[in-house]
Amino acid sequence: MPACLPEMHAHPSPADQPLSITYDHESREMERYRGLALSFLPTRPEVSRLMATLGIECEQRLGALETLAEQLQRRHCLPATLARRRSLAEQYRLHLFISNDAMACQTLGYALAFARHSLQFSELMAQHCQLARLDTLLARFVDSKRYECRLLEEVRAGAYAASARA
């Protein structure tokens, strides 16, 4: 019998919490990158595309987590479906469109700070995970998030350079 019952959906067992917490974290990351993609769209379409791509990578990580949960017969332990979360997030979403270089630099700084936090989160989860096969998946996430941080560092450095020339 599975460790967490469908009616106990909001409270997975301690053994299932790393899977549940990681899934929730990635879904928030995906929503954040999608919001950033929209924010950068009017003035910096190349940054918008990068943010959209990073959001897609989060979505792929969510798919990998769902696949693993199904293989482990733990799909019912994952947080609320993305469709429900999206509708709640959209009710409270406020998009701020990037209108100048200073705003772009500041927003990219925040994006990088969040990406570094996400990397640290994934590193900690990978180090302390005791759920079968999730640790291997988390190690892949860590590599992906390191690359994500490098990309954001480069984009931010380019934005600062462009801002200094202006």
**Span 22-74, pLDDT tens digits:** 999 999 999 999 999 999 999 999 999 999 999 999 999 999 999 999 999 98
Task: Look at residue 52 and tell me if it is in a domain.
Answer: yes
Q: What is the pLDDT of residues 112-130, one digit of tens each?
A: 999 999 999 999 999 998 8
pTM above 0.95, yes or no: no
Q: What average pLDDT does range 76-98 have in this prediction?
A: 65
93-105: per-residue pLDDT in tens?
556 899 999 999 9
Phi, psi of 10 (to 5 degrees): -75, -15
Domains held by the chain: number: 1
pLDDT for res 130: 83
Q: Which domain holds residue 47?
A: 15-165
Q: How far apart are the C-alpha atoms of 13 and 21, rounded to whole Å?
A: 12
Range 16-47 burial, b when 16+ CB lie within 10 A, else e? bebbbebbebbbebbbbbbbbbbbbbeebeeb
Residue 113 covered by a domain: yes
The answer to the question of residue 76 being in a domain is yes
Residue 5: pLDDT over 50: no
Asked whether residue 8 is domain-assigned, the answer is no
